[in-house]
Amino acid sequence: MARPIRHPAQEPADSDEVTEAVRDISHPLDDWQSLDPLLARIGDARYVLLGEASHGTSEFYTWRRLISQRLIREKGFSLIAVEGDWPDCYRVNRYIKGYPDAGRNAHEVLHAFDRWPTWMWANEEVVTLAEWLHHWNRSVAAERKVGFYGLDVYSLWDSMHAVLAYLQQVDGAAFTAAQRAFECFEPFGYDVNQYAQATAWTPRSCENSVVRMLSSLREQAPSFQQDGREAYFNAEQNALVAKNAEKYYRTMVRGDALSWNVRDEHMAETLQRLTTHYGPATKAIVWEHNTHVGDARFTDMAASGMLNVGQLVRNNHEAEGVVLVGFSSHHGTVIASQAWGDAMRVMTVPNARPGSWEDILHRADPSDKLLLFEPQSLLEMLQPRGHRAIGVVYRPRYEAFGNYVPSVLPRRYDALLHLDETHALHPLHLDTRFDHDAPETYPSGV
């Protein structure tokens, strides 16, 4: 177990050795060919996890797309799994694979992402990715079509509706059983916060109902799969989301590490299910925030009892090859909101906090760069420093007090893309009304 990292009262003193170490392991980052050293570092790894330091930065999405395209073209990667809801992302999966009635274009499909924060996936940068995947899949055999899937756990109601729709078509008796699970939630309307508050003070919950629904579905798997293996997998995953979402919302009201761990364990479990579903030769790309991708054991998250996807994938698949890639920036603009469920806006990202990793990277060379970490040669970089994390809720004037995660950078990641100046991404929804039933997550919605 890694040594817990405490949040420092202030950043460690600067040293010429740290700055020089950054220069020694940096590669210029100019265009897609600049990624050659990263592709060489990835080698034959089966899992490549690509982070982001915010959910609203254009360059993070663009560079992840360029990396993903090269991994698909040159190394045969099979799927992209993202920090998004399963039902919404499955619609994208249907479109890029050319399923019937899957939508006319990526803009139309992604514009349907209407759950706050819409800009995370309903943006022009993801439209470009989806259209490229759609074009790629038209040129390859069916078994080589690349998929696009959501790993997250928030879609309780949408997933329940998807299970009901599936069972109504294939099994009337199972549909009736699933309907009883759905009815358990009806007294709470469609308000997950109301459900969470109610179950916090009484022994009543819908846990047994959703567990029975999933068990019933799995018991019928041999017969259901005869009507379509992919359709059954989608229904089973939605039932799993409903089960784990119920647990997540029931535990989130406590405000401790448990709900965070429920969420990241669900995402790691979903990733494992996807690679098993695709087969033993599957290679998977993951797009999530740095706080999910970078190994939590080398941050102060560990001291709070929190784990994350990067840590779990490293633990479970080290022998198959795992590469964790973080992202950072020094200054720029970003899309975010000032409060949960509030309107999105373009915000200024101030210069990084003095002494933070972003500050060190900027002062070593104020240009875009790729860092490849080789543990045996990075002793100068093993002292924890703050590493900026911007969520969907962001208040720039207070960021120095709450947006920096103390991190041992060369242990948290295998590589890092530092993009010195970054810009807000381009949302598809320019005038939206948001629902408020999604809970805030640590730190500030990541």
The predicted-structure confidence for 76-125, as pLDDT tens digits, reads as follows: 999 999 999 999 999 999 999 999 889 999 999 999 898 899 999 999 99
Give the up-direction half-sphere exposure of residue 29: CA atoms within 13 A in the CB hemisphere. 26
What local confidence, expressed as pLDDT, does residue 185 receive?
81
Query: Cα-Cα-Cα-Cα dihedral of 276, 294, 52, 73, to 10°?
Result: -40
The predicted-structure confidence for 208-221, as pLDDT tens digits, reads as follows: 888 878 887 877 76
Look-up of token digits 């799969």: 225
Contacts of residue 65, Cβ cutoff 8 Å, sequence gap at least 6: 125, 128, 129, 132
Q: How confident is the model at residue 174 (pLDDT cuts 50, 70, 90)?
A: confident
Q: How confident is the model at residue 442 (pLDDT cuts 50, 70, 90)?
A: very low
What local confidence, expressed as pLDDT, does residue 132 receive?
98
Mean pLDDT on 278-307:
96
The predicted-structure confidence for 13-28, as pLDDT tens digits, reads as follows: 777 889 998 999 999 9
Give the chain's length: 446
Look-up of token digits 């994938």: 313
Mean pLDDT on 45-51:
98
pLDDT at 440 over 70: no
Question: Which of 120-124, 316-320, 433-437 shows the lowest per-residue confidence on average (mean pLDDT)?
Answer: 433-437
pLDDT at 148 over 80: yes
pLDDT at 338 over 70: yes
- What rounded mean pLDDT belongs to the chain? 88
What local confidence, expressed as pLDDT, does residue 255 receive?
65
**What token pair was written down for 1?**
């177990």
- The per-residue DSSP string of 322-390 comes to EEEEEEE-SEEEEEEBSSTTPPPEEEEEPPPPTTSHHHHHHHH-SS-EEEE--GGG-GGG-S-EEEE--
- CA distances to 124, 203, 232, 242 from 248, in Å: 31, 16, 24, 10
The closest alpha carbon to 201, from 154, 254, 156, belongs to 254
pLDDT at 430 over 80: no
Contacts of residue 15, Cβ cutoff 8 Å, sequence gap at least 6: 380
Q: How far apart are CA 134 and CA 145, in angstroms?
A: 9
